[in-house]
């Protein structure tokens, strides 16, 4: 199985900050990577697919990059509503696996 490792596990940042979350795959997955945002008591919401493609309706301050084994999710200017937990997910093959999540707190 492909293991997905996110870092950091949690972070705290201020409104307006640039925030970067990293996801590493245990083997190459090309660009078959998605990012999700999850708020408390809610289902995950898709943000990015294909490592860098923004899902429709997602604010342009979110962006994704990477290929192979190393990927990043960047929020260019943090907003209060971005407080959430973020997950990466590979879809290179079955079984699909997720990162353990990064909890983002607003200072």
Partner 1 sequence: QVQLVESGGGVVQPGRSLRLSCAASGLTLSTSIMHWVRQTPGKGLEWLAVISLDGNSQTYTDSVKGRFTISRDISTNTLSLQMNSLTAEDTAVYYCARESGSSGRAGWFDPWGQGTLVTVSS
One of 44, 62, 66, 102 touching partner 1 (CB under 8 A)? 44
Minimum CB distance to partner 1, residue 68 (Å): 14
**Alpha-carbon gap, residue 17 to 48, rounded angstroms:** 20
Q: Which is nearer to partner 1, 10 or 30 (CB)?
A: 30
**Neighbouring-strand partners of residue 37:** 45, 86
d(CA 41, CA 70): 29
Measured from the CB of residue 52, what is the shortest distance to partner 1 in angstroms?
13
The structure tokens listed for 33 are: 């990577």
Q: Which is nearer to partner 1, 35 or 75 (CB)?
A: 35
Q: Do 62 and 47 form a contact (C-beta atoms < 8 A)?
A: yes
| Binding of residue 45 to partner 1 (CB under 8 A) | yes
Query: Which positions touch partner 1 (CB under 8 A)?
Result: 30, 32, 34, 36, 42-46, 49-50, 55, 87, 89, 91-101
């Amino acid at each position: 199985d492909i293991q997905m490792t996110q870092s950091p596990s949690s972070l705290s940042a201020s409104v307006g900050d640039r925030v970067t979350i990293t996801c590493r795959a245990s083997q190459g997955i090309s660009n078959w990577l998605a990012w999700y945002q999850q708020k408390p008591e809610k289902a995950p919401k898709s943000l990015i697919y294909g490592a860098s493609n923004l899902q429709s309706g997602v604010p342009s301050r979110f962006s994704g990059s990477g290929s192979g084994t190393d990927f990043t999710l960047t929020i260019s200017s943090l907003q209060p509503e971005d407080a959430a937990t973020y997950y990466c997910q590979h879809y290179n093959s079955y079984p699909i696996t997720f990162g353990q999540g990064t909890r983002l707190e607003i200072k």
